[in-house]
Amino acid sequence: MKFSRIWAMPSADTFSIPPIAELLRHWLAGRLIIVDPFARNNRFANLTNDLNPNTAARHHMDAIEFLDMLEKGRRMPKPPNIDAVLFDPPYSPRQISEVYKQIGRAVTGKDTQNAALYKNVKMRLNGLLAKDGIAICCGWNSAGMGKGYETARPAARNTVATRSTGRCRDCGSWGPRAGNGLGLNCGCALE
């Protein structure tokens, strides 16, 4: 595995940071259906969501509700093969609080429990992703999509971007993914 460290000026719009934009252009090339539940003004994805209605995202709802909508096809047919998912949520409880305040929504302690939010969003993204799809995760650590994924090429200093593929690290299987969002249907126990 090859790691790169590149300094770039930070930005609230992570995907506008040049090395991260380059990573996205490289890994998303040829991918047709790309989901981003925390899109802000992201132009790399075509199924976009952000709580803030003043962003360029197509939908403006809670990330869990947006992903449930895609899964259940309530307002649109379920995408047949989601080629890629982007995971770039607010990184800290303070950032979550700022997003809520921007839209005039009261924030509670439960709302700022980002570990629970991240887990629930990742489970849903996993259930939507095609078996040969990729996930690009940004954050303050390189956890990516978690166990059961192969991770490659983190980038940037304070924002770490990782690409996760659907290959099970235990048996090498590519899928298919379990509909329950817990991992691959390869029989391996993912914790």
pLDDT tens by residue, the chain, 191 residues? 566 678 888 888 889 999 999 989 999 999 999 999 999 999 999 999 999 999 999 999 999 999 999 888 745 555 557 889 999 988 888 888 888 888 888 888 888 877 888 889 998 998 888 888 888 988 876 677 776 666 654 443 345 555 554 545 455 444 434 333 334 344 444 33
Q: Which CATH architecture has domain 14-165?
A: 3-Layer(aba) Sandwich (3.40)
What distance lies between CA 133 and its chain's CA centroid? 12
∠ at Cα 124 (170, 107), nearest 5°?
A: 125
Beta strands in 19-119 (DSSP E): 34-36, 47-48, 82-87
Has this prediction a pTM greater than 0.85? no
Beta-bridge partner residues of 48: 36
Instruction: Tell me the two tokens of residue 44.
Output: 């790399």
Domain ranges of the chain: 14-165
